[in-house]
Amino acid sequence: MNQQTSRNSQEELFPGKPVKSLGEKNPNIEKSHTRGTVFKWIAIGAAGIAVVVLAILLIDIFRDGVGRLRPEFFTEYPSRHPEEAGIKSAIYGSIWVMVFTVLFSLPLGVAAAFYLEEFAPKNKLTEIININIANLAAVPSIVYGILGLALFVRFFALGRSVLAGALTMGLLILPIIIIASREAIRGVPSSLREASMGLGATKWQTVRHHVLPQAFPGILTGTILALSRAVGETAPLIMIGALTFVPFVPGNIETFSDIIADPLALIAFAPMDGFTVLPIQIFNWVSRPEAAFHVAAAGAIVVLLVILLSMNALAIFLRYRFEKKGPQTR
Please tell me whether residue 313 binds other proteins under the rule CB under 8 A: no
* Stretch of 53-61, 94-102, 252-260, 266-274 lying at the interface with other proteins (CB under 8 A): 53-61
Candidates 1, 22, 47, 264: give the one binding other proteins (CB under 8 A): 47
* Stretch of 75-83, 250-258, 297-305, 317-325 lying at the interface with other proteins (CB under 8 A): 297-305
Candidates 7, 77, 183, 229: give the one binding other proteins (CB under 8 A): 229
Please tell me whether residue 235 binds other proteins under the rule CB under 8 A: yes
* Stretch of 15-23, 83-91, 111-119, 250-258 lying at the interface with other proteins (CB under 8 A): 111-119
* Stretch of 16-24, 84-92, 102-110, 267-275 lying at the interface with other proteins (CB under 8 A): 102-110
Instruction: State which residue, 129 or 265, has the beta carbon closest to other proteins.
Output: 129
Instruction: State which residue, 61 or 266, has the beta carbon closest to other proteins.
Output: 61
Please tell me whether residue 233 binds other proteins under the rule CB under 8 A: yes
Please tell me whether residue 294 binds other proteins under the rule CB under 8 A: yes
Crossing angle (nearest 10°) for helices 212-232 and 162-186 = 140
Report the site for other proteins in 164-223 (rule: CB under 8 A): 171, 174-175, 178, 202-204
Determine how many CB atoms are found less than 10 A away from the CB of residue 307. 18
Candidates 140, 187, 263, 327: give the one binding other proteins (CB under 8 A): 140
CB of 122 to other proteins, least distance (A): 13
Q: How large is the C-alpha radius of gyration of the chain?
A: 29
Report the site for other proteins in 2-31 (rule: CB under 8 A): none
3-class DSSP string for the chain: CHHHHHHHHHHHHCCCCCCCCCCCCCHHHHHHHHHHHHHHHHHHHHHHHHHHHHHHHHHHHHHHHHHHCCHHHHHCCCCCCCCCCCCHHHHHHHHHHHHHHHHHHHHHHHHHHHHHHHHCCCCHHHHHHHHHHHHHHCCCHHHHHHHHHHHHHHHCCCCCCHHHHHHHHHHHHHHHHHHHHHHHHHCCCHHHHHHHHHCCCCHHHHHHHHHHHHHHHHHHHHHHHHHHHHHHCCHHHHHCCCCCCCCCCHHHCCCHHHHHHCHHHHHHCHHHCCCCCHHHHHHHHHCCCCHHHHHHHHHHHHHHHHHHHHHHHHHHHHHHHHHHHCCCCC
Instruction: State which residue, 9 or 32, has the beta carbon closest to other proteins.
Output: 32
Instruction: State which residue, 83 or 254, has the beta carbon closest to other proteins.
Output: 83
In whole angstroms, what is the distance from residue 85 CA to residue 297 CA? 10
Q: In angstroms, what CA-CA distances link 96 with 1, 86, 167?
A: 82, 18, 12
Instruction: State which residue, 174 or 253, has the beta carbon closest to other proteins.
Output: 174
* Stretch of 5-13, 17-25, 209-217, 235-243 lying at the interface with other proteins (CB under 8 A): 235-243
Please count the residues of this chain forming the interface with other proteins, following the rule CB under 8 A.
85
Instruction: State which residue, 42 or 199, has the beta carbon closest to other proteins.
Output: 42
* Stretch of 5-13, 74-82, 148-156, 258-266 lying at the interface with other proteins (CB under 8 A): 148-156
Instruction: State which residue, 128 or 261, has the beta carbon closest to other proteins.
Output: 128
